[in-house]
């Protein structure tokens, strides 16, 4: 099985896990208000499903970055960083939305750092790949815009933070999916 198939399988499995994750969470979890990170939060029953989903997405992107020669070294490194930070965000869970729940502040801080680096790595990675490919695609522009504007929207309208973050992740899935289907098979380095 080649890198394309492995990456596609990991991305598909991550979508399934992240869609199923909220079904095993406490009833007060809200798709609209609570983020995917909160679905994977410390001390939350069933959070392991969201953690697996985030880790699978990160692993899929790492595999994709490993064989996407046409991204150029900068694009491969930036998207590799994105994938690594996704795995880290799964391993280092954030604080629960339940304000009274016990949590480890170090894990919460490390999660926030990984998530922040992840966002920058994705945006700069998309731009770097577009430059390396000498292309102008609406999906590239939309992906960068989503990675900048949707987090701002999450701060301005926190009651929709979960929905906005899902839209942001959806854009990333579309971008990586388009990269999977639009590229001819390439040999690993």
> What pLDDT sits at residue 56?
98
Cα 119 to Cα 123: distance, rounded to the nearest angstrom: 6
The mean pLDDT of 3-30, rounded to a whole number, is: 94
The mean pLDDT of 126-155, rounded to a whole number, is: 95
**Per-residue pLDDT band at 94 (split at 50, 70, 90):** very high
Instruction: Centre a 10 Å sphere on the Cβ of residue 12 and count the other Cβ atoms it contains.
Output: 14
Question: Residue 24 carries which DSSP code?
Answer: G
> What pLDDT sits at residue 189?
46
Q: Using the structure block, give the residue that is written with the tokens 């410390």.
A: 42
The mean pLDDT of 124-150, rounded to a whole number, is: 95
Judged against a pLDDT cut of 90, whether residue 11 lies above it is answered with: yes
Of the chain, the end-to-end C-alpha distance in Å amounts to 16
67 or 20, higher pLDDT: 20
Mean pLDDT of the chain: 93
Q: What is the pTM of this model?
A: 0.92
Contact at 8 Å (CB) between 89 and 78?
no
CB burial of residue 138 (10 Å; 0-12, 13-18, 19+): exposed
**Per-residue pLDDT band at 184 (split at 50, 70, 90):** low
CA separation, residue 186 to residues 25, 59, 122 (Å): 40, 18, 22
Cα 153 to Cα 173: distance, rounded to the nearest angstrom: 20
Cα 3 to Cα 64: distance, rounded to the nearest angstrom: 7
């Amino acid at each position: 099985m080649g890198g394309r198939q492995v990456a596609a399988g990991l991305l598909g499995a991550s979508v399934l896990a992240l869609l199923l994750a909220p079904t095993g969470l406490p009833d007060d979890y809200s798709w609209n208000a609570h983020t995917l990170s909160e679905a994977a939060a410390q001390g939350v029953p069933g959070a392991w499903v969201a953690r697996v989903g985030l880790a699978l997405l990160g692993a899929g992107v790492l595999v994709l970055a490993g064989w996407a020669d046409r991204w150029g070294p900068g694009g491969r490194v930036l998207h590799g960083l994105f994938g690594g930070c996704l795995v880290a965000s799964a391993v280092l869970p954030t604080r629960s939305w339940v304000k009274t729940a016990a949590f480890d502040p170090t894990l919460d801080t490390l999660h926030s750092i990984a998530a922040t680096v992840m966002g920058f790595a994705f945006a700069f990675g998309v731009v770097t790949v577009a430059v390396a490919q000498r292309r102008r695609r609406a999906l590239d522009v939309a992906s960068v815009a989503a990675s900048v504007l949707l987090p701002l929207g999450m701060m301005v309208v926190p009651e929709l933070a979960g929905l906005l973050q899902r839209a942001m992740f959806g854009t990333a899935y579309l971008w990586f999916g388009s990269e999977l289907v639009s590229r001819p098979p390439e040999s690993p380095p």
